[in-house]
Amino acid sequence: MSDGRNRCTWCGDDPQYVAYHDVEWGVPLHGDPALFELLTLEGAQAGLSWLTILRRREGYRRVFADFDPIKVARFSDKKMERILTDPGIVRNRQKVESVVGNAQAILRIQKERRSLDDFLWGLGIGPGNAPTRAGTMSKRLRTEGFRFVGPTICLSFMQASGMVNDHDKNCFRYSEIDNLPAQLLRPPSV
């Protein structure tokens, strides 16, 4: 990018990608709908580029009721068939169907543990390196009934949601993220 700031090498120079890098990636993300959205998009990315998914994010928000897990958990088969024809998303049947099952898993977690936020942050932060924690997160999520949550997806989720600061050390965002107030990385309440 021509503004002279050092960025992570992965973000390239596409304006949408640069904006995502500069504003969102690696910033601590909280709230069940926001985390549900990111987990869904990370799963949708499997085998594709993040930019492909980022360009379709509004389509995902539209078809998946702004990631309200209560609404998504109730989607009918007929609604799912309509979603699979929508050009605003990646129309992979397994990935699309996993969103409803993941919403149902979120509702179970909310019923048992209070929030997806506490559950995920409880898995994503703590001792051990990020890939090890991502493997643990993947196993726990699968135990809870989630799909498209392998270790690579979980590591990418942890990076994007700010559970780890994986900006390149020479990236201007590295020190900004590293110096965020501690309350943004609040300890889980579970």
Residues annotated catalytic, as ranges:
20, 42, 50
C-alpha to C-alpha distance for 106 and 74, rounded to whole angstroms: 12
